[in-house]
Structure 1
Amino acid sequence: MFEYILGELTELSPAHAVVETAGIGYFINISLQTYSTLEGKSSVKLWLHQIVREDAHILYGFADTKERDLFRLLITVSGVGASTARLILSSLTTDEVKAAITTENVNLIKQVKGIGLKTAQRIVVDLKDKVSADESSVQQILSTSNNTLKTEALTALVMLGFTRSAAGKVIDQILKEMGDMPVEDLIKHALKRL
C-alpha cells in the first residue's frame, strides 16, 4: 500500500490530479476539499489510499491525513463505496462530516447527492463511536442556524468555480451579518464579495 506521493502537479481538475514523480504520472482521484488545497501549487504531497480491483488499481489522494482517515472510515460502512465517500468529502468538510456524525445530524449527511436516509443513518450508527469531532467544529456546525441554506449556496458557488474555503468564509460572514435569507439572495450577495 502506498502512503503518500510527492511530486510535480502536472494536471488538476475538481475530480482528479496527475502527479509526476520519477518520470511517471500518477492519476489520482481527489475530493473538492483537496482540489481547493492544491489550486495554484506546482509541487504537492498527497496522502494516498489505494483500491485494488480485478480490473483496476485506483488511487485516491488527500491533502491531509485527517481527510484520508475519514475516507477510510466512510468506506467501511455498508453501502458506501469509494466514490460515495469522495462525494461526501466533496460536499462537506472533514469537520462538518465529523460533527454531523457526532451530533447524529442525519439531515446534513442526507443532503449529499446520492445519500438516502438509510445510508445516512447507517453512517451515523456505524461511525459514531469511531469519530471524534473537535468541540469547536461541533459548536460551529450547531451555531449555523440553517445548514441547508449554507450547503446549497456553497455547492452552487463551488460549481461556479470558486474555492470551497473562500466561498465558505464569505457565506459565513454574510449569514452572520444579515441572518437567514433565500438561497438565491445568499448566492447573489456572495458573488458580489468574491
Structure 2
Amino acid sequence: MIDYIKGTLIEIEPAYLVVDVNGIGYQLICANPYRFSTDLSLEVQIPTYHYVREDIQRLYGFKNKIERTLFEKLLGVSGIGPKGALAILASGEPEQVVSAIEAENDSLLTRYPGIGKKTARQIILDLKGKLEELSPSLLNPTNPTVEIDKKDNLQDALEALRSLGYVEKELKKVEKELKSETLETDQYIKRALALMLKT
C-alpha cells in the first residue's frame, strides 16, 4: 500500500489534486480538494489509499489519517464504493459521521448522495461500536484561508459537489443562500453540505 505522497502540490481541480514527485505528477482523488488551497505550490505530504480492482487503479488523498481510516471502514460496508465514501467525507467532519453511526441516525446518512435507507442501515450495522479510534481530538486544525475571487470560489465549490454526486436540483436549493456569503471554496463546500444535510 502507498501510505502517503510527498511532493509539490501543483494543481487543484474539483475532484482531485496533482502532486509533483520528482517530475512525476500523481493524481489524488479527494473528497474536497479545495481544503488544500493554502498548500498550492508548497511541499505537502498527503495520506493516500491505493484502490485496486481488476479494471481500475486509483489513488485517493486525504487531509489526515483519520479521514483515511474512515474511508477504509466505509469501503468495507456492502453497497459503499469510493465515490459514496468520498461524498460522506466531503464535509470534512468525520466526527459528525461517527456520531450519526453511533446514534443510529440513518436519516442523516441518507442525505448523502448514493446512500439509501438500506445502505445507511448497513453502515450502522457494520460500523457501530467499531470507530473508537476516530476521535475528533486527533483531527488536524483547519488551515488559514487566503483571499480569492468570491464568484470563482462558489463555482468551483458547486463543480466539486457535482463531482461527488449531488444533482442540480439539490445545488439550486442552496446556491441562493451561498451567494449571500463570501467564503473560500472549501468553506462553500462545507456550508453547502451543512445546508443540504439539514433539509
Report the CA distance shift for 1:30/1:168 in structure 2 as closer, same or farther (over 3 A).
closer
Give the aligned residue type for 1:103.
A
Distance 1:168 1:128 in 2: 25
Counterparts in 2 of 1:39-188, with a 5 A limit? Answer: 39-41=37-39, 42=41, 43-91=43-91, 93-132=93-132, 134=135, 157=178, 162-165=184-187
Tell me how many residue pairs correspond in the alignment. 153
Check whether the contact 1:71–1:85 (CA below 8 A) recurs between aligned residues.
Answer: yes
Q: Which runs of 5+ in 1 are unaligned?
A: 137-151, 173-182, 184-194
Distance 2:95 2:28 in 1: 23
Distance 1:77 1:22 in 2: 36
Give the aligned residue type for 1:102.
E
Per-residue deviation, 1:53: 2.0
After superposition, give the CA deviation of every residue in 1:147-189 in whole Å (9 maximum; x if it has no partner): xxxxx859x749x9744447768xx9xxxxxxxxxx7xxxxxx
Distance 2:34 2:55 in 1: 30
Check whether the contact 2:30–2:62 (CA below 8 A) recurs between aligned residues.
Answer: yes
Three-state SS of the structure 2 residue aligned to 1:74 is helix
Check whether the contact 2:178–2:188 (CA below 8 A) recurs between aligned residues.
Answer: no
More helix by share: 1
Report the CA distance shift for 1:25/1:47 in structure 2 as closer, same or farther (over 3 A).
same
Distance 1:100 1:71 in 2: 15
Three-state SS of the structure 1 residue aligned to 2:119 is helix
Q: Which has the larger radius of gyration?
A: 1
Distance 1:98 1:131 in 2: 7
Report the CA distance shift for 1:98/1:125 in structure 2 as closer, same or farther (over 3 A).
same
Check whether the contact 1:50–1:57 (CA below 8 A) recurs between aligned residues.
Answer: yes
Check whether the contact 1:157–1:167 (CA below 8 A) recurs between aligned residues.
Answer: no
Distance 2:3 2:189 in 1: 31
Report the CA distance shift for 1:20/1:96 in structure 2 as closer, same or farther (over 3 A).
same
TM-score, normalising length from structure 2? 0.67
Report the CA distance shift for 1:19/1:165 in structure 2 as closer, same or farther (over 3 A).
same
Per-residue deviation, 1:114: 1.5
Three-state SS of the structure 2 residue aligned to 1:18 is strand
Report the CA distance shift for 1:95/1:14 in structure 2 as closer, same or farther (over 3 A).
farther
Check whether the contact 2:91–2:189 (CA below 8 A) recurs between aligned residues.
Answer: no
Distance 1:3 1:166 in 2: 29
After superposition, give the CA deviation of every residue in 1:106-163 in whole Å (9 maximum; x if it has no partner): 1111100111011011101110021136589xxxxxxxxxxxxxxx859x749x9744
Report percent identity of matched pairs. 38
Q: Which runs of 5+ in 2 are unaligned?
A: 138-172
